Amino acid sequence: MSLTAIRVADLQRSVEFYTAGCGFALEREFSTDLFDAMILRAGTAGIELLRPRDAAAAPDHGNMFAKMVVNTRDVDGLVALACAHGGTAEMPVTELEAFGGMVVGSVRDPDGHLIEVVGRR
């Protein structure tokens, strides 16, 4: 998989969060009759932010468990940066001894999408 698409309420706010807060870079933007979109990349990983043109309500996440996972060498730093750019802390950064010292924290983006940040210390 090379790209994940998510619906957002405000493209500019989401681009700020994912670029300044999570280290992605803007690859391209485009529009159709149905939506406006921006594709962001971090290496080979990509995220497509979609803003439907007729969207009056915020995205409804339903009751499914869904998350995106971002790997980094600095979990504490990335979680703090994401929160400084519109994210909300979901789970504090925790070292998981049972998983060989893996470090995990999570944030929600401005639209409530869950992002798990994973690395090692």
- Summarize pLDDT for 20-34 with one digit per residue, the tens: 999 999 999 999 888
Q: What's the whole-number mean pLDDT along residues 76-98?
A: 94
Tell me the C-alpha distance between 51 and 59, whole Å: 10
- Assess whether pLDDT exceeds 70 at residue 64: no
- For residue 26, the model assigns a pLDDT of 97
Position 26: which residue type?
A: L
- For residue 59, the model assigns a pLDDT of 65
- Residue spans of the domains in the chain: they are 4-54+66-120
Distances (CA, A) of 19 to 6, 22, 32, 85: 15, 6, 23, 9
CATH of region 4-54+66-120: 3.10.180.10
* Under 8 Å between Cβ of 63 and 91: no
- For residue 55, the model assigns a pLDDT of 67
Task: Output the pTM of the full model.
Answer: 0.78
- For residue 2, the model assigns a pLDDT of 74
Report how far Cα 38 is from the mean position of its chain's Cα atoms.
13
